[in-house]
Amino acid sequence: MSNSPQINHVPDRSTTIKSMIILALLFFIFGLVSWVNTILIPYFQLTLQLSNFQSYLVTFAFYIAYLIMAIPSSFLLNKMGYKKGMMLGLWCMSIGALLFVPAAYWRIYQIFLLGLFLLGVGLAILQSAANPYVTIVGSIESAAKRMSIVGTGNKLAGVIANLIFAAVVIRESDKVLMREIEAGNYTGAALETALDTLIKGVMTPYLVLAIALFIFGIIVRYSPLPDLDPSIVNKRSEQDENSHKSISQYPALILGVAAMFFHIGTQMIALGTSIKYAGTMGESLAGPARNIPSYTMLLTFIGYFLGIALIPKYLKQRNALLICASINLVLSAMIITTSGTIQFLGITTDISLWYLVMMGLPNALLYAGIWPLAINGLGKYTNLGSAFLVMALSGSAIMPLVYNAFVELNASLSPFEAMKQAYWILIPCFAYIVWYAAKGYQIKSWKKTHD
């Protein structure tokens, strides 16, 4: 543990405010690194000449780290302390970003995947540390509100991440080159040279990112952010401590992990496939379609502000979860069942694309709603329960592959119809989250009880 002050009681208002500011900055880092994957997928598919399956491995390599590292992260944080753990997580991300430089220089797909995996490992450590902070620095009833506050940093980064990437990496000359490659104007050695020129655009931005992450790790380590005492994080009361012998005996947590998995997975499907879906309608990555994920994230950003304003004064966090999951269930059905060409923001596509984008607004309060319901009352298992919920973020790795499998099953259809029909996978996911918000979180025992 570090020698900095530890939180061993309910923190005062000043400590809470300082902690929330630093946590918001951390969540901004989460978003900046995470959400750029939505444009990396089509970018790598073009510059590395990947198949659909290989392109989805971009998100798989990144988010599978959550599944592998979440529980080891909880033990690491218990041993090292939270601030040292955060520094280690940021340094791990720095190494991952640094690997983009040789990967781009030699245009080696596998090194990119390793870099993405290390970025994910670092984020898993940071998420395991940051989320308990947000939950414990105030009352459990307003946890969703605090999640929304720090989430604004995450989603603001999501809004600008693709815009920054597109502006810094995809230069005007690159846009012309992309269109020519997509049109098939290059073959053989000329194609390889063109692809080398494009991919090297990521070298400088990721080198700068690597340096920034390393420095920020040092700043967090020596910041006024107080170190959480693991014994306090993991123990809310003696009654909680003695109520269950195993974490598996908390149905609200286990069912909440599944809800989180489906939420995160469907969110990545909506974000990660939107540019490609627009591409089946004639829009190019070199055109305004590259901004589609940013529109989704802008709606999510707005949703977070609604959460801050409404929860818990006007709307209980559980009701917010129920309403938002229900809205996304309806939007999922509309994606599949409606059609019609519209032109909006310089993009001419089927209307179903914009229903996909609209999911960003209700998505804002799903994470913030599921987390406190799942983690409430875990007592000494709070840290491990947080690790389980972080593991559920691997939904972003697995669900896009499931979606792609359904696209492949519809290979006899046009690319547009194949993708559109595959979105039906969203329906059972949101139906489950609706059930969890209405009933699942209330289950206290796996055994049936009788009045």
Q: For residue range 288-332, list pLDDT tens digits in order.
A: 888 899 899 889 888 878 887 887 778 888 899 999 999 999 999
The share of the chain scoring above pLDDT 70, in percent, equals 87
Task: Give the rounded distance of the alpha carbon of 73 from its chain centre.
Answer: 18
Paired with 348 in beta bridges are 343
Place of tokens 């004639």: 282
The residue among 268, 270, 248 whose CA lies nearest residue 260 is 268
pLDDT of residue 235: 52
- ∠ at Cα 264 (274, 156), nearest 5°? 70
The share of the chain scoring above pLDDT 90, in percent, equals 45
Tell me how crowded residue 95 is: count the other CB atoms within 10 A of its CB.
17
For 121, phi then psi, to 5°, come to -60, -45
Indicate the burial class of 253 (C-beta count within 10 angstroms; 0-12, 13-18, 19 or more): buried
pLDDT of residue 225: 74
Give the integer Cα–Cα distance in Å for 434 and 208: 42
- ∠ at Cα 108 (102, 110), nearest 5°? 105
| DSSP category for residue 377 | T
End-to-end CA distance of the chain: 47
Tell me how crowded residue 444 is: count the other CB atoms within 10 A of its CB.
14
Place of tokens 């489950």: 432
At position 277, the amino acid (one-letter code) is Y
In Å, what is the CA distance from 426 to each residue of 315, 329, 433?
26, 8, 11
Q: Which residues, other chains included, contact 113 with Cβ-Cβ below 8 Å and sequence gap of 6+? A: 57, 58, 61
In Å, what is the CA distance from 20 to each residue of 74, 138, 153, 295?
21, 11, 11, 26
Task: Give the rounded distance of the alpha carbon of 417 from its chain centre.
Answer: 27
Give the CB-side neighbour count of residue 50, counting CA atoms within 13 A.
22
- pLDDT top residue among 158 and 398: 398
Structure tokens that stand for 261 in this block: 């998995």
- pLDDT top residue among 33 and 422: 422
pLDDT of residue 171: 80
At position 100, the amino acid (one-letter code) is F
Paired with 228 in beta bridges are 7
Report the run of H or E that residue 344 belongs to, with start and end. Answer: strand 341-344
Task: Give all strands (DSSP E) within 340-392, no chain letters.
Answer: 341-344, 347-350
Give the CB-side neighbour count of residue 376, counting CA atoms within 13 A.
23
CA dihedral 112, 33, 399, 392 (to 10 degrees): 120
CA dihedral 239, 246, 369, 316 (to 10 degrees): -30
| DSSP category for residue 440 | G
1, pLDDT greater than 60: no
Decide the pairing of beta strands 341-344 and 227-228: unpaired
Query: Does the pTM of the predicted model rise above 0.85?
Result: no
The residue among 135, 129, 153, 132 whose CA lies nearest residue 304 is 153
- Tell me the average pLDDT across 91-95: 96
Report the run of H or E that residue 451 belongs to, with start and end. Answer: none
- pLDDT top residue among 360 and 172: 360
Q: Is the previous residue joined to 205 through a cis bond, with omega within 30 degrees of 0?
A: no
- Tell me the average pLDDT across 156-169: 80
Predicted confidence (pLDDT) per residue in 239-261, tens digit: 454 555 688 889 999 999 999 99
Tell me how crowded residue 337 is: count the other CB atoms within 10 A of its CB.
11
Decide the pairing of beta strands 6-7 and 227-228: parallel
In Å, what is the CA distance from 264 to each residue of 258, 364, 396, 445?
10, 11, 6, 26
